[in-house]
Chain A
Amino acid sequence: DAKTTQPPSMDCAEGRAANLPCNHSTISGNEYVYWYRQIHSQGPQYIIHGLKNNETNEMASLIITEDRKSSTLILPHATLRDTAVYYCIVRVGQGGKLIFGQGTELSVKP
Protein backbone atom coordinates (compact mmCIF):
# COMPACT_ATOMS: atom_id res chain seq x y z
CA ASP A 1 0.00 0.00 0.00
CA ALA A 2 1.02 3.58 -0.59
CA LYS A 3 2.56 5.31 2.40
CA THR A 4 1.08 8.69 1.53
CA THR A 5 -2.30 10.40 1.86
CA GLN A 6 -3.45 13.10 -0.55
CA PRO A 7 -6.77 14.89 -1.13
CA PRO A 8 -8.52 13.35 -4.13
CA SER A 9 -9.09 16.63 -5.93
CA MET A 10 -8.28 20.33 -5.85
CA ASP A 11 -9.07 23.40 -7.94
CA CYS A 12 -6.79 26.32 -8.66
CA ALA A 13 -7.26 29.55 -10.60
CA GLU A 14 -4.95 30.10 -13.54
CA GLY A 15 -1.98 32.27 -12.59
CA ARG A 16 -2.31 31.57 -8.90
CA ALA A 17 -0.09 29.29 -6.85
CA ALA A 18 -1.23 25.69 -6.50
CA ASN A 19 -0.36 24.13 -3.14
CA LEU A 20 -0.75 20.36 -3.07
CA PRO A 21 -0.47 18.71 0.37
CA CYS A 22 0.73 15.22 1.19
CA ASN A 23 0.84 13.34 4.48
CA HIS A 24 3.51 10.68 5.03
CA SER A 25 3.52 10.22 8.78
CA THR A 26 5.31 6.84 8.71
CA ILE A 27 8.22 7.96 6.58
CA SER A 28 11.61 6.54 7.57
CA GLY A 29 14.74 8.60 8.01
CA ASN A 30 16.33 7.49 4.75
CA GLU A 31 13.24 7.70 2.56
CA TYR A 32 12.82 10.46 0.02
CA VAL A 33 9.61 12.20 -1.00
CA TYR A 34 9.01 12.20 -4.75
CA TRP A 35 6.39 14.00 -6.78
CA TYR A 36 5.18 12.95 -10.20
CA ARG A 37 2.27 14.10 -12.30
CA GLN A 38 0.28 12.42 -15.02
CA ILE A 39 -1.51 14.36 -17.68
CA HIS A 40 -4.40 12.43 -19.15
CA SER A 41 -3.31 9.37 -21.15
CA GLN A 42 0.40 10.19 -20.90
CA GLY A 43 3.15 8.57 -18.87
CA PRO A 44 3.88 10.09 -15.44
CA GLN A 45 6.31 12.99 -15.41
CA TYR A 46 8.93 13.47 -12.71
CA ILE A 47 8.61 16.83 -10.94
CA ILE A 48 10.86 17.01 -7.90
CA HIS A 49 12.12 15.08 -4.90
CA GLY A 50 13.66 15.81 -1.50
CA LEU A 51 14.83 14.28 1.75
CA LYS A 52 14.43 16.93 4.43
CA ASN A 53 15.44 20.27 2.99
CA ASN A 54 13.16 22.37 0.83
CA GLU A 55 13.86 21.97 -2.86
CA THR A 56 13.15 24.12 -5.90
CA ASN A 57 13.55 23.54 -9.62
CA GLU A 58 12.17 25.08 -12.78
CA MET A 59 8.85 23.30 -12.37
CA ALA A 60 8.00 23.52 -8.68
CA SER A 61 9.02 23.88 -5.06
CA LEU A 62 8.86 21.17 -2.43
CA ILE A 63 8.38 22.13 1.20
CA ILE A 64 8.95 19.34 3.74
CA THR A 65 8.00 19.90 7.38
CA GLU A 66 10.71 19.64 10.00
CA ASP A 67 9.33 16.37 11.35
CA ARG A 68 9.09 15.08 7.75
CA LYS A 69 5.56 13.83 8.30
CA SER A 70 4.09 15.97 5.56
CA SER A 71 5.06 17.99 2.53
CA THR A 72 3.61 20.48 0.07
CA LEU A 73 4.25 20.75 -3.64
CA ILE A 74 3.96 24.32 -4.89
CA LEU A 75 3.36 25.27 -8.50
CA PRO A 76 4.03 29.01 -8.29
CA HIS A 77 1.96 30.19 -11.26
CA ALA A 78 -0.42 27.46 -12.36
CA THR A 79 -1.43 27.27 -16.02
CA LEU A 80 -4.14 25.25 -17.74
CA ARG A 81 -1.42 22.80 -18.83
CA ASP A 82 -0.78 21.95 -15.17
CA THR A 83 -4.14 20.20 -15.00
CA ALA A 84 -3.16 16.62 -14.11
CA VAL A 85 -3.12 13.97 -11.40
CA TYR A 86 -0.29 14.65 -8.95
CA TYR A 87 1.27 11.76 -7.07
CA CYS A 88 3.25 12.06 -3.86
CA ILE A 89 5.43 9.00 -3.32
CA VAL A 90 7.70 7.90 -0.53
CA ARG A 91 10.52 5.88 -1.99
CA VAL A 92 10.41 2.40 -0.51
CA GLY A 93 13.89 1.15 0.18
CA GLN A 94 16.36 0.57 -2.61
CA GLY A 95 15.59 -0.20 -6.18
CA GLY A 96 13.34 1.26 -8.81
CA LYS A 97 10.02 0.45 -7.20
CA LEU A 98 7.61 3.38 -6.96
CA ILE A 99 4.36 2.79 -5.08
CA PHE A 100 1.69 5.10 -6.43
CA GLY A 101 -1.39 6.05 -4.42
CA GLN A 102 -4.53 7.58 -5.88
CA GLY A 103 -2.99 11.05 -6.18
CA THR A 104 -4.64 14.47 -6.30
CA GLU A 105 -6.50 15.52 -9.41
CA LEU A 106 -5.66 19.19 -9.88
CA SER A 107 -7.94 21.25 -12.10
CA VAL A 108 -6.61 24.63 -13.14
CA LYS A 109 -9.47 26.88 -14.20
CA PRO A 110 -9.39 30.11 -16.26
Chain B
Amino acid sequence: KAGVTQTPRYLIKTRGQQVTLSCSPISGHRSVSWYQQTPGQGLQFLFEYFSETQRNKGNFPGRFSGRQFSNSRSEMNVSTLELGDSALYLCASSRWTGGDEQYFGPGTRLTVT
Protein backbone atom coordinates (compact mmCIF):
# COMPACT_ATOMS: atom_id res chain seq x y z
CA LYS B 1 0.00 0.00 0.00
CA ALA B 2 1.41 3.39 -0.97
CA GLY B 3 2.26 5.75 1.88
CA VAL B 4 1.38 9.38 2.38
CA THR B 5 2.69 11.54 -0.44
CA GLN B 6 3.37 15.25 -0.32
CA THR B 7 4.11 17.62 -3.14
CA PRO B 8 6.24 19.47 -3.77
CA ARG B 9 9.10 18.19 -1.62
CA TYR B 10 11.03 21.45 -1.71
CA LEU B 11 9.88 24.99 -2.31
CA ILE B 12 11.49 28.42 -2.24
CA LYS B 13 9.27 31.47 -2.00
CA THR B 14 9.68 35.18 -1.37
CA ARG B 15 8.19 37.15 1.50
CA GLY B 16 4.66 38.28 0.74
CA GLN B 17 3.91 35.47 -1.68
CA GLN B 18 1.49 32.67 -1.03
CA VAL B 19 2.02 28.93 -1.29
CA THR B 20 -0.13 25.82 -1.62
CA LEU B 21 1.06 22.42 -0.43
CA SER B 22 -0.60 19.14 -1.31
CA CYS B 23 -1.06 15.88 0.58
CA SER B 24 -2.44 12.55 -0.64
CA PRO B 25 -3.32 10.22 2.24
CA ILE B 26 -3.00 6.46 2.35
CA SER B 27 -5.81 4.81 0.41
CA GLY B 28 -8.84 4.38 2.66
CA HIS B 29 -7.70 6.98 5.18
CA ARG B 30 -10.18 9.79 5.68
CA SER B 31 -8.42 12.01 8.21
CA VAL B 32 -5.57 14.33 7.27
CA SER B 33 -3.61 16.42 9.77
CA TRP B 34 -0.98 19.04 9.10
CA TYR B 35 2.03 19.93 11.24
CA GLN B 36 4.78 22.52 11.07
CA GLN B 37 8.30 21.66 12.24
CA THR B 38 10.94 24.28 12.95
CA PRO B 39 14.20 24.04 14.92
CA GLY B 40 12.94 26.54 17.49
CA GLN B 41 9.35 25.39 18.05
CA GLY B 42 9.58 21.71 17.17
CA LEU B 43 6.55 19.90 15.78
CA GLN B 44 3.35 21.91 16.05
CA PHE B 45 -0.17 20.92 15.05
CA LEU B 46 -1.79 23.11 12.40
CA PHE B 47 -5.18 21.54 11.68
CA GLU B 48 -7.03 18.32 10.96
CA TYR B 49 -9.59 17.55 8.29
CA PHE B 50 -12.03 14.65 8.23
CA SER B 51 -14.75 14.14 5.64
CA GLU B 52 -13.97 17.55 4.12
CA THR B 53 -14.54 19.32 7.45
CA GLN B 54 -11.97 20.94 9.69
CA ARG B 55 -12.18 19.10 13.02
CA ASN B 56 -9.29 20.60 14.99
CA LYS B 57 -7.18 23.71 14.68
CA GLY B 58 -3.89 24.69 16.29
CA ASN B 59 -2.71 28.13 17.36
CA PHE B 60 -1.66 29.56 14.04
CA PRO B 61 -2.73 32.84 12.41
CA GLY B 62 -5.44 32.98 9.79
CA ARG B 63 -2.80 33.13 7.05
CA PHE B 64 -2.64 29.36 7.41
CA SER B 65 -5.64 27.59 5.93
CA GLY B 66 -6.50 24.24 4.49
CA ARG B 67 -9.13 22.17 2.82
CA GLN B 68 -9.94 18.58 2.04
CA PHE B 69 -11.48 17.16 -1.08
CA SER B 70 -14.02 14.37 -1.47
CA ASN B 71 -11.22 11.90 -2.28
CA SER B 72 -9.57 12.81 1.08
CA ARG B 73 -6.67 14.61 -0.56
CA SER B 74 -5.82 17.80 1.29
CA GLU B 75 -4.15 21.10 0.58
CA MET B 76 -2.85 23.75 2.90
CA ASN B 77 -2.28 27.34 1.95
CA VAL B 78 -0.11 29.99 3.53
CA SER B 79 -0.71 33.56 2.40
CA THR B 80 1.52 36.60 2.81
CA LEU B 81 4.56 34.51 3.60
CA GLU B 82 6.93 35.61 6.34
CA LEU B 83 10.52 34.54 6.95
CA GLY B 84 9.35 32.67 10.05
CA ASP B 85 7.17 30.41 7.92
CA SER B 86 10.29 28.63 6.71
CA ALA B 87 9.79 25.11 7.99
CA LEU B 88 9.16 21.48 7.22
CA TYR B 89 5.43 20.98 6.69
CA LEU B 90 4.25 17.48 7.46
CA CYS B 91 1.02 15.81 6.57
CA ALA B 92 -0.32 12.75 8.40
CA SER B 93 -3.24 10.50 7.59
CA SER B 94 -5.32 8.09 9.62
CA ARG B 95 -8.40 6.00 9.01
CA TRP B 96 -10.63 7.94 11.36
CA THR B 97 -10.49 11.05 13.44
CA GLY B 98 -9.47 10.48 17.03
CA GLY B 99 -7.80 7.56 18.72
CA ASP B 100 -6.08 6.17 15.67
CA GLU B 101 -2.41 6.08 14.75
CA GLN B 102 -1.28 8.63 12.19
CA TYR B 103 1.07 7.93 9.32
CA PHE B 104 3.27 10.80 8.21
CA GLY B 105 4.48 11.80 4.80
CA PRO B 106 8.04 12.92 4.03
CA GLY B 107 7.15 16.59 4.30
CA THR B 108 7.54 19.70 2.18
CA ARG B 109 10.56 21.85 2.98
CA LEU B 110 9.52 25.50 2.53
CA THR B 111 12.14 28.22 2.48
CA VAL B 112 11.01 31.85 2.53
CA THR B 113 13.57 34.44 1.44
Query: Which A residues are in CB contact (< 8 Å) with B97?
Result: 94-96
- Cα(A46)–Cα(B103), bound, Å: 7
- Cα(A41)–Cα(B45), bound, Å: 18
Given contacts A95-B56, A96-B33, A97-B33, contact A46 B48 (CB under 8 A): no
Query: Which B residues are in CB contact (< 8 Å) with A95?
Result: 48, 55-56, 97-98
- Cα(A21)–Cα(B104), bound, Å: 23
Within 8 A of A (CB), among B4-45: 4, 31, 33, 35, 42-45
Q: How far is the CB of A14 from chain B (nearest CB, A)?
A: 26
Query: Which A residues are in CB contact (< 8 Å) with B106?
Result: 42-43
A91 contacts B by Cβ under 8 Å: yes
Query: Which A residues are in CB contact (< 8 Å) with B42?
Result: 100-102
B94 contacts A by Cβ under 8 Å: yes
Q: How far is the CB of B97 from chain A (nearest CB, A)?
A: 5
Q: How far is the CB of A97 from chain B (nearest CB, A)?
A: 5
Number of residues from B at the complex interface, CB < 8 A:
28
Query: Which B residues are in CB contact (< 8 Å) with A98?
Result: 33, 35, 43, 45, 92, 102
Within 8 A of B (CB), among A16-69: 32, 34, 41-46, 49
Query: Which B residues are in CB contact (< 8 Å) with A102?
Result: 42
Contacting pair A96 B101 (CB below 8 A): no
- Cα(A100)–Cα(B94), bound, Å: 17
Q: Which residue of A lies closest to B94 (CB)?
A: A96
Given contacts A43-B4, A91-B99, A102-B42, contact A96 B92 (CB under 8 A): yes
Q: 16 extra interchain contacts, Cβ-Cβ under 8 A, other than A46-B101, A87-B43, A98-B33? A: A34-B101, A41-B88, A43-B106, A44-B43, A46-B104, A94-B97, A96-B50, A96-B92, A96-B98, A96-B100, A97-B48, A97-B58, A98-B102, A100-B42, A100-B43, A100-B44
